[in-house]
Structure 1
C-alpha cells in the first residue's frame, strides 16, 4: 500500500445504520435486536439472518422508506 492511501471498508450493517442516521441503540431497537447483537454484526463477528437481512438491505438502498415504516408503526401504538 502506498503511503497516504488508506481505504476504510465499512461492514454492510454499519453502512445500513449510517444511511439511516440512527445511533446504535436506535437502530438496534428498530431492528428488534440488542445493541450487543448489532455490534457483533457491525464488527463482523456474527452475521444477521432472516428478516434482519431484508431490513438491512432496505436500510442500505432506501433508508427513508425504512424510517417511514418505523415511524408509522410507532404512531400506531
Structure 2
C-alpha cells in the first residue's frame, strides 16, 4: 500500500482550509483517510500550519511519502530538514 501525507481540502467555496492527512495514494483527495495529523490555513497572515510533529516523523519512518506541497510546508516550519 502506497501511503502519502497530503492535504485534504475542506472549507467553503473560495475559502479553502486544509487538513494534513495520511491516506492511501489510490484514494481520492477528499476521500477516506488513515489518520488526520494536522491542519493548514492559507488565509491567515502568515499562513498557519499546525501538525503533530511526532506523528509526522512516525509516518515518515514507516514509509509514508509527503507530497511536494506538504514537504515544502514541513520544511518551511522546521519539521523536516
Q: Same fold (TM over 0.5)?
A: no
Structure number with the bigger relative contact order (C-alpha 8 A, sep ≥ 6) is 1
Larger Rg: 1
TM-score (norm 1): 0.28
Q: Select the structure that is richer in strand.
A: 2
TM-score (norm 2): 0.28
